[in-house]
Amino acid sequence: MKNIVVLGSTGSIGKNTLEVARNLKDKFQIVGLSSNSRWELLAEQVEEFKPRYVALTDCGLVEKLKRRFQGNQLKILTGNNCLQEIVLKPEVDIVVSAVVGAVGLPAAIATIEQGKTLALANKESLVMAGHLVMSLAKKNQILPVDSEHSAIFQSLHSGKPREIKRVIITASGGPFCDYPADKLPEVKPAQALKHPTWQMGQKITIDSATLMNKALEIIEAKWLFGLTAEQIDVVIHPQSIIHSMVEFCDGSVIAQMGLPDMKVPIQYALTYPERSPLGVRWLDLPGIGSLTFKKPDVDKFPALRLGYQAVREGGTTGATLNAANEMAVQAFLNGQIRFTEIAVYVEKVINHHHFIKNPCLEEVLAADAWARQEMKKCLM
Ligand code: NDP
Ligand code: MG
User: Is residue 27 domain-shared with residue 93, that is, in the same domain?
Assistant: yes
User: Is residue 175 domain-shared with residue 234, that is, in the same domain?
Assistant: yes
Ligand 1 atom nearest to 204, measured from its CA: 34
Contact by Cβ (8 Å): 55, 34:
yes
Determine whether the shortest distance from the Cβ of 100 to ligand 1 is under 6 A. Answer: yes
User: For residue 195, what pLDDT is reported?
Assistant: 84
Ligand 1 probe mutation, 38, 96, 124, 204, most atoms within 8 A of CB: 204
Return the number of other C-beta atoms located less than 10 Å from residue 2's C-beta: 15
* 294 C-alpha to ligand 2 centroid (Å): 18
User: Is residue 139 domain-shared with residue 154, that is, in the same domain?
Assistant: no
Domain span at residue 218 reads 150-260+290-314
User: For residue 197, what pLDDT is reported?
Assistant: 83
Residue 350 is assigned to a structural domain of this protein: no
Round to whole Å and give the CA distance between 194 and 363: 36
- Atom 40, ligand 1: residue with shortest CA distance: 200
Residue 221 is assigned to a structural domain of this protein: yes
Query: The CATH number of the domain where 116 resides is what?
Result: 3.40.50.720
User: For residue 268, what pLDDT is reported?
Assistant: 98
Query: For the chain, what percentages of helix, strand and coil (3-state, to nearest 5) are there?
Result: 50, 15, 35
Residue 57 is assigned to a structural domain of this protein: yes
* 50 C-alpha to ligand 2 centroid (Å): 30
User: Is residue 65 domain-shared with residue 156, that is, in the same domain?
Assistant: no
Determine whether the shortest distance from the Cβ of 45 to ligand 1 is under 6 A. Answer: no
Determine whether the shortest distance from the Cβ of 98 to ligand 1 is under 6 A. Answer: yes
pLDDT digits (tens), the chain, 380 positions? 999 999 999 999 999 999 999 999 999 999 999 999 999 999 999 999 999 999 999 999 999 999 999 999 999 999 999 999 999 999 999 999 999 999 999 999 999 999 999 999 999 999 999 999 999 999 999 999 999 999 999 999 999 999 999 999 999 999 999 999 999 999 999 999 998 888 899 999 999 999 999 999 999 999 999 999 999 999 999 999 999 999 999 999 999 999 999 999 999 999 999 999 999 999 999 999 999 999 999 999 999 999 999 999 999 999 999 999 999 999 999 999 999 999 999 999 999 999 999 999 999 999 999 999 999 999 98
User: For residue 199, what pLDDT is reported?
Assistant: 84
Q: Which residues of 28-51 are buried (b: 16+ CB within 10 A; e: fewer)?
A: bbbbbbbbbebbeebbebbeebeb
Residue 115 is assigned to a structural domain of this protein: yes
User: Is residue 128 domain-shared with residue 54, that is, in the same domain?
Assistant: yes
Determine whether the shortest distance from the Cβ of 38 to ligand 1 is under 6 A. Answer: yes
| Polymer length of the chain | 380
Ligand 1 atom nearest to 146, measured from its CA: 43
Ligand 1 probe mutation, 13, 86, 133, most atoms within 8 A of CB: 13
User: Is residue 135 domain-shared with residue 161, that is, in the same domain?
Assistant: no
User: Is residue 168 domain-shared with residue 37, that is, in the same domain?
Assistant: no
* 205 C-alpha to ligand 1 centroid (Å): 11
Return the number of other C-beta atoms located less than 10 Å from residue 296's C-beta: 18
Phi and psi at 253, nearest 5°, equal: -115, 120
* 12 C-alpha to ligand 2 centroid (Å): 13
* 88 C-alpha to ligand 1 centroid (Å): 20
* 335 C-alpha to ligand 2 centroid (Å): 26
